[in-house]
Amino acid sequence: MTEEITYAELEFNTSYALENMPRPATSEEKGHRTTSPTWRLAALTFLTLCLVLLLGLLFFGIVFFQVSRDFKEEIGNLMKNQETLQTNFSKRLQDMKDNLCLEGEEEKNKNNGPICTLCPTNWKWTGGDTCFYVSTKKKSWADSQKFCSLQNSTLLMIKDRDKLGHLPPRDMRQYFWIGLHKSSNNSWYWEDGSALLRKKADWIDVYEYYTCGHLYELNIRTYDHCHSEYFWICEKAALKLRQPQTISP
């Protein structure tokens, strides 16, 4: 009897202990508890990123439209400034032409045309594309050449007879040094290196004893030494001033 009671109490205590022992969480409960906060955090992060991206696109859109509007306004201002500058430049250029441009014959008058001719002060223009300087002092041929070189010009070169008729007025009784000289090989050359052509040229009288040429009346001569002092004539290309056409915006 005592053994049966003891066995019953032992079975009861064992059964009670098993019933009150904490049970481990099932796999479903574990998954629900661990994945639920992670999913919510991922969703919140994704929504945050979407919101930031949307705000960024909105910001850049506003900036783009603002810059585009400012750019169009700047282009408009530049166009207006260009028109103003073009108008002012045309007026100033016309004033320069009226004050500086040379007048030739009536049918060749450049003042009212799109192009006019300019020559430096104290230089002469007789039409065409050349400016001439007729000296009022006398120098040797070498010093005359040096003077012309310092003026970015050369001594006068007369390669054809027609040019004699387009020279500026001068004292026809005086000698004028020109850009003709004899080289070491006894050949005559102009300032630009081209050779003197004397075939059937009755207006060229070259005396081989001397080495520098001068102009007398309407003839080329070499009748004196290069160190003799005469007047001289320089020539250079005339400056052509062209009035630009108005540019439409």
DSSP code per residue over 27-50: HHHHHHHHHHHHHHHHHHHHHHHH
Position 38 confidence tier, pLDDT thresholds 50, 70, 90: confident
The proportion of the chain whose per-residue pLDDT surpasses 70, expressed as a percent, equals 71
67 and 139 both lie in a single domain: no
Integer CA distances (angstroms), 6 to 14, 68, 188, in order: 12, 97, 154
Higher-scoring residue by pLDDT: 64, 104 = 64
157 within a domain of the structure (yes/no): yes
13 within a domain of the structure (yes/no): yes
Burial call 122-155: b when 16+ CB within 10 Å, e when fewer:
ebbbeeeebbbbbbeebbbbeebbebbeeeebbb
pLDDT (tens digit, 9 = 90+) per residue, 199-244?
667 888 888 788 999 999 999 988 889 999 999 999 999 988 765 5
| Segment 101-114 mean pLDDT | 48
193, 155, 199: which is closest to 175 by C-alpha?
155
The residues near 166 (Cβ < 8 Å, ≥ 6 apart) are 126, 127, 128, 130
Alpha-carbon gap, residue 228 to 207, rounded angstroms: 16
Residue holding tokens 């060749």?
Answer: 108
131 within a domain of the structure (yes/no): yes
221 and 156 both lie in a single domain: yes
48 within a domain of the structure (yes/no): yes
176, 184, 112, 120: which is closest to 153 by C-alpha?
120
CATH of the domain at 145: 3.10.100.10
57 within a domain of the structure (yes/no): yes
68 and 118 both lie in a single domain: no
Higher-scoring residue by pLDDT: 72, 216 = 216
| Segment 70-74 mean pLDDT | 75
70 within a domain of the structure (yes/no): yes
232, 207, 203, 199: which is closest to 219 by C-alpha?
203
Residue 20 pLDDT exceeds 60: no
Q: What is the DSSP string of 134-169?
A: E-SS-B-HHHHHHHHHHTT-EE----SGGGGGGSPP
129 and 218 both lie in a single domain: yes
126 within a domain of the structure (yes/no): yes
Residues 185 and 241 sit within 8 Å (Cβ to Cβ): no
Q: How far apart are the first and last CA of the chain?
A: 125
**Based on the number of CB atoms within 10 Å of its own CB, is 236 exposed (0-12), middle (13-18) or buried (19 or more)?**
middle
Residues 121 and 151 sit within 8 Å (Cβ to Cβ): no
68 and 145 both lie in a single domain: no
169, 161, 179, 174: which is closest to 235 by C-alpha?
179
140 and 69 both lie in a single domain: no
70 and 118 both lie in a single domain: no
pLDDT (tens digit, 9 = 90+) per residue, 41-70?
777 887 888 888 888 888 777 877 777 777
Domain that includes residue 28, residue range: 2-74
Number of domains in the chain: 2
Last residue of a domain, one of 74, 91, 122: 74
